[in-house]
Amino acid sequence: IEMQDLLATMKASRRKQEEHLLEKAHTKDHIKALNKLTSIVDGRRVIVDNPPIVTHSEHGEAERTERVFGVVADYRETPSADRQELLDRYRFVDYARKVVGVGSVGTRCWIALFQGPNGGPLFLQVKEARESVISVARGTTPAAHFGQRVVEGQRTLQAASDVLLGWGTDPVDGAQYYVRQLWDAKWSADVSTMRPSALGQYAGHCGWALARAHARTGDAVEISGYIGTSDVFGEAIADWAVAYADQTERDHAALVAAIERGVLAA
């Protein structure tokens, strides 16, 4: 799905705003990451600590460096041959721990800085991968490598995945990771500022992308036949979404009450 296809569905006033955000997203690349995340210290380019979000290891620095480098070296064997050739032009410079977002809370994540022959930067994000919750719930045999499972899942679902996706293993404790670029001209819609009409349109775009992903991984004809031409399936999804939102509000109220009773510290 090309961005121009999405822009063509928007009103002229919103299209102009989105085009501005799109231009901004194109600047969120490795050069911007270099300026924001690094500085020169004693003549050497290093990642700047920004606690608690970005920090260097304080204990066992030499061992940790060796382990992160080991994951990266193992990862290097997983992209296609042409991308391995590209990676070989860069040298490992520095790394730091990075606090991850909601979906990855509790997992380990590192950002690694590389520099090319002309000093050009490359930032890779090394994210811990764990067993699929579906595998846990079903009691099925887990994947041979959790990072590989994540990467192959993304490649299957997404029309255009990160060109440097791969996976690797910690040589010491066997922790499994997947690797991708840190900043790669990515942009997210600000749902909190959308008016109802824009939110509805955005939901339609998400549905478009989801339908495409399902078509890539399942029997599109069978799925279409199951859904049919009525509104029953759509209404069922909408009812589920509203019930989920209500449950989220109840969960949050229970959390606040637990904090007020002193059951949870916050």
130 vs 107: CA distance, rounded Å: 8
The identity of residue 227, as a single letter, is: I
Q: Say whether pLDDT at 19 is over 80.
A: no
**What Å distances lie between residue 42 and 16, 45, 71, 240, CA to CA?**
45, 8, 27, 57
Among 164-173, 177-186, 256-265, the range scoring the smallest mean pLDDT is 177-186
- Looking at residue 257, what is its pLDDT? 97
| % of the chain with per-residue pLDDT over 90 | 56
The pLDDT of residue 28: 66
- Predicted confidence (pLDDT) at residue 12 exceeds the cutoff of 90: no
Contact 48, 54 (CB under 8 A): yes
Rounded distance, CA 107 to CA 128, Å?
6
Does pLDDT of 186 surpass 80? no
- Contacts of residue 223, Cβ cutoff 8 Å, sequence gap at least 6: 214, 215
Q: Are strands 121-128 and 38-41 parallel, antiparallel or unpaired?
A: unpaired
Judge whether 33 and 123 are in contact, CB under 8 Å: yes
Cα separation, 128 vs 64, in Å, equals: 15
pLDDT at 73 over 80: yes
User: What is the structure's pLDDT at 61?
Assistant: 76
User: Which has the minimum average pLDDT: 50-59, 86-95, 249-258?
Assistant: 50-59
pLDDT class of 34 with cuts at 50, 70, 90: confident
Q: What pLDDT score does 29 carry?
A: 67
Please list the alpha-helical segments (H only) found in 76-171: 81-87, 133-138, 146-157
Q: What is the pLDDT of residues 86-123, one digit of tens each?
A: 999 999 999 999 998 777 888 999 999 999 988 789 99
d(CA 146, CA 125): 16
Confidence at residue 33, expressed as pLDDT on a 0 to 100 scale: 74
Asked whether the predicted pLDDT for residue 59 surpasses 70, the reply is: no
